[in-house]
Amino acid sequence: MSDLITTTDIDLREEILKLKKEMNAVLLAHYYQESEIQDIADFVGDSLELARKAKFTDADVIIFAGVHFMAETAKILNPNKLVLIPDLEASCSLAEGCPADEFKKFREALPEHVAITYINCTAEVKALSDIICTSSNAEKIINQIPSDKPILFSPDRNLGKFLIKKTGREMLLWEGSCIVHETFSERKILELKVRHPEAKLIAHPECEEPVLLHADFIGSTSQLLKFVQEDSSKSFIVATETGIIHQMKKACPDKIFIPAPPQDESCSCNECPYMKLNTLEKVYLCMKNKFPEIILDEQLRIKALRPIEKMLEMS
Ligand code: 13P
Ligand code: SF4
C-alpha cells in the first residue's frame, strides 16, 4: 500500500485550520491568490505587508501562499523558521527575466549607481542590490536617495518609467516586465470606459504607459484596495490581476468591479499563471508533508537580507 497522502474525502478547510494550530503556523496569502485561499489565510496583503508580517510573526512555520520570491523573502527574514510554499514552480516573469549573472554584469559596469531593485527578483539578485523596494514604497525610497547619486532600477521597466515620472529622477532601467500587467489592451479599456463612463480606471504601476495614461488612480494592490473603499464612485475598471477583486467585493459589496480585459479575451491572461498554481489542496499537502520548503544558502541569505532591511528601515 502506498503511504502517499491523498485529499479525497477530506474537508480541506477544516484540515488546514487543524494543522495550523498543531504546527503553530501562520498562513500568509497575496491578494492574487484564489479566493478560497485568501479566505482561510491569517493575513492577506501586498508584497510589502507580507514581508513585514513575515518579519514580525512569532509562528514556528510560515506557509506562504504567493510566488517564490515572496516565500524566499520570508525565509531571508526568518532563517530559523520552516517556510513552506504550496507550489515550488510558482515563479514570476520579472524574477525570471533578471538572471543573477546578467544582473551582476549590469551592476559591475555601473559601480557608481545605487541599485534599487523591485522585490520581484531572486535572492541572488537581491544580494547584488543596494536597496529592495515594492510598488508601495518605491517612490518614498527613491526620494531619499541624494540627488547627485545615479540610480539603476530593476527589473520592471514599466514600474521604473512610472517612478521616473513620479519622482522626476532619471534612472537607468532593466528591461523586464510582468506578463500579466502587459496583457491589458488600451483599446479594449477605452471601449469599456465608453460603455461605463461612470467607472473609474484604477491600475497597478506594472501596467504599460498607454494604460497608465488613462488611469484615474495608480497604486500597489493594497493602495488600489484602499482607493476603492475611500472613493465615492460606485464602479471601477480594475487593471491588475483579478484576485484582488475578491477583497474589493468583500470590502465594498455595493460597488461594481470590472476586470480590465486582456488583448485576447479568449484567454485568462489577466490571471497570474504563477500565483494560480497554488490551490487549497496544495496548501493542505505542503503543511501535511512539510514540503516544498524554501531552503537558502546562509551566505546568500545574509547578503540578500541587507537590502531588504534597508527597505524596511526606509519605508
Ligand atoms: P504588490 O506589491 O502590489 O502586491 O504587487 C506584487 C505583484 O507581484 C504585482 O504583480
Ligand atoms: Fe510576477 Fe506579474 Fe505574477 Fe506579479 S502578476 S507575480 S509581477 S508575473
Q: Is 173 in the pocket of ligand 1 (CB under 6 A)?
A: no
Q: Is residue 264 part of a domain?
A: no
Number of domains the chain is built from: 3
Cell of 264: 485576447
Based on the domain organization, do 308 and 162 belong to the same domain?
A: yes
Distances (CA, A) of 256 to 214, 235, 236, 237: 19, 4, 6, 9
Cell of 94: 520579472
Find the domain containing 60 and state its range: 12-90+275-295
Residue 122 near residue 94 (C-beta atoms within 8 A): no
**294 Cβ partners below 8 Å, 6+ apart?**
64, 68, 71, 72, 74, 75, 83, 84, 85
Cell of 222: 493594497
Q: Whose CA is nearest to atom 2 of ligand 1?
A: 47
Q: Is residue 122 part of a domain?
A: yes
Cell of 265: 479575451
Q: Is residue 210 part of a domain?
A: yes
Q: Is residue 64 part of a domain?
A: yes
The ligand minimizing its distance to the Cα of 92 is: 2
Each of the 315 residues of the chain gets a pLDDT tens digit; together they read 455 556 666 899 999 999 999 999 999 999 999 999 999 999 999 999 999 999 999 999 999 999 999 999 999 999 999 999 999 999 999 999 999 999 999 999 999 999 999 999 999 999 999 999 999 999 999 999 999 999 999 999 999 999 999 999 999 999 999 999 999 999 999 999 999 999 999 999 999 999 999 999 999 999 999 999 999 999 999 999 999 999 999 999 999 999 998 888 788 889 999 999 999 999 999 999 999 999 999 999 999 999 999 999 999
For 94, the enclosing helix (H) or strand (E) is: helix 93-96
Distances (CA, A) of 12 to 41, 225, 283: 13, 28, 9
Residue 236 near residue 255 (C-beta atoms within 8 A): yes
Q: Whose CA is nearest to atom 6 of ligand 2?
A: 92
Based on the domain organization, do 127 and 149 belong to the same domain?
A: yes
Based on the domain organization, do 77 and 135 belong to the same domain?
A: no
122: domain CATH number is 3.40.50.10800
State the helix-helix crossing angle for 12-23 and 280-289, rounded to 10 degrees: 40
Residue 151 near residue 114 (C-beta atoms within 8 A): yes
Based on the domain organization, do 165 and 310 belong to the same domain?
A: yes
Residue 238 near residue 248 (C-beta atoms within 8 A): yes
Based on the domain organization, do 45 and 106 belong to the same domain?
A: no
- From the CA of 240, give the closest atom in ligand 2: 5
Based on the domain organization, do 116 and 59 belong to the same domain?
A: no
Question: Is this structure's pTM higher than 0.75?
Answer: yes
Based on the domain organization, do 201 and 158 belong to the same domain?
A: no
- From the CA of 92, give the closest atom in ligand 2: 1
- From the CA of 156, give the closest atom in ligand 2: 7
In single-letter form, the type of residue at position 8 comes to: T
- From the CA of 136, give the closest atom in ligand 1: 2
Distances (CA, A) of 294 to 71, 75, 273: 7, 7, 20
Q: Is residue 269 part of a domain?
A: no
> Which of 47, 218, 311 has the most ligand 1 atoms within 8 A of CB, as the residue to mutate?
47
Based on the domain organization, do 175 and 108 belong to the same domain?
A: yes
Which pLDDT value is given to residue 1? 47
Residue 152 near residue 128 (C-beta atoms within 8 A): no
Distances (CA, A) of 199 to 216, 219, 248, 260: 10, 17, 15, 12
Based on the domain organization, do 100 and 175 belong to the same domain?
A: yes
7 Cα to the center of ligand 1, angstroms: 31
The ligand minimizing its distance to the Cα of 44 is: 1
Q: Whose CA is nearest to atom 8 of ligand 2?
A: 92
3-state helix, strand, coil in the chain (%, to 5): 45, 15, 40
Strand-pairing partners, residue 256, are: 235
The ligand minimizing its distance to the Cα of 218 is: 1
Give the closest residue to 64 by CA, choosing from 81, 123, 151, 133: 81
Based on the domain organization, do 157 and 227 belong to the same domain?
A: no
Q: Is residue 285 part of a domain?
A: yes
Q: Is residue 6 part of a domain?
A: no
Which pLDDT value is given to residue 75? 97
Q: Is residue 44 part of a domain?
A: yes
Based on the domain organization, do 214 and 170 belong to the same domain?
A: no
Based on the domain organization, do 243 and 217 belong to the same domain?
A: yes
66 Cα to the center of ligand 2, angstroms: 10
Q: Is 220 in the pocket of ligand 1 (CB under 6 A)?
A: yes
- From the CA of 95, give the closest atom in ligand 2: 1
122 Cα to the center of ligand 1, angstroms: 15
The ligand minimizing its distance to the Cα of 51 is: 1
220 Cα to the center of ligand 1, angstroms: 6
